[in-house]
Amino acid sequence: MKKLILPLTLLSSIAAADTLNWDGRVFEPVNVKAEIVDFQGEKVMKVERDLEAFPFEKSIEVETVDDRHFLKLKNFEFRDGTFEVKLLSRIQQPTPMASSQGFIGLYFRVNDDNSAFESIYLRPNAGRSDIQAMRNHTVQYFAFPGYKFADLRDEAPGLYETWADIGLDEWITMRIQVTGEKAELYLNDAKYASFIVNKMKGTSKAGTLGLYVDIGTEGYFKDLKIISSIHPDTGDI
């Protein structure tokens, strides 16, 4: 498969933007458009991928998704911890990708220059599909660089994704617990994990968080909580 390498220096210069203050935290858009909006009677963060800053190419789809397009939390670094956010996705109208599944989720252990991170994200439109094979792709893990969704499907089919009962245009609570090489996803206040990655693939062992959307998604976020975190250098909680 032909790989497209987008230079970090180019992406960084294109993506430079003013920071946003939201709920007492500072965020930096990285190849996304973000703003605080009134939505369903609340002030929430709206995030959409910036296709001018980071173009999508259907002919090389894998190379232009699962990448550096997210809203980055500034002035925070953790190694292990638990964090939670409520998110909702819709398909953009008109959509730049007819098969968009409402891609939305979280990045974590994002390093300083955005060259490495882990992620768990959702495809809400797949959650209640009439096709079981599509349902099996509702939840997705990947690690950047080197382990996008297609790479992991080739390496270990079904191991890094699963089904969940979620859908578009509804608030979904997403809580991720990170401990060493393990990540656990809890959806909608479930007592037990909906998805477990027993051995993550990423090279970054510490970093910050990011709010992620991908092609064709109109994403909304609220109630971001850092429930616990361990600093990578001091071990302080």
Enclosing domain of residue 35: 8-230
Does the residue 237 lie in any domain?
Answer: no
Q: Is residue 1 part of a domain?
A: no
Instruction: Decide if 2 is inside a domain.
Output: no
Residue 150 counted as domain residue: yes
CA 166, CA 172: separation in Å to the nearest integer?
7
Q: Are strands 182-187 and 172-179 parallel, antiparallel or unpaired?
A: antiparallel
Q: Which residue has the tokens 């071990």?
A: 235
Domain annotation covers residue 211? yes
Q: Is residue 236 a part of any domain in this protein?
A: no
Span 95-121, pLDDT tens digits: 988 889 999 999 999 999 999 999 999
Q: Assess if residue 124 is contained within a domain.
A: yes
> Residues of the chain whose pLDDT is less than 50?
1-16
Domain contains 17: yes
**Widest distance between CA atoms in the chain:** 49
Phi (first) and psi of residue 141, to 5 degrees: -105, 145
Q: Residue 158 belongs to a domain with what CATH number?
A: 2.60.120.560
Number of domains the chain is built from: 1
Residue with tokens 């990947």: 142
Task: Give per-residue pLDDT as tens, 193-219.
Answer: 999 999 999 999 999 999 999 999 999
Residue 17 pLDDT: 52
Which DSSP letter does residue 93 get? S
What is the spatial distance between Cα 231 and Cα 196, in angstroms, rounded to a whole number?
A: 23
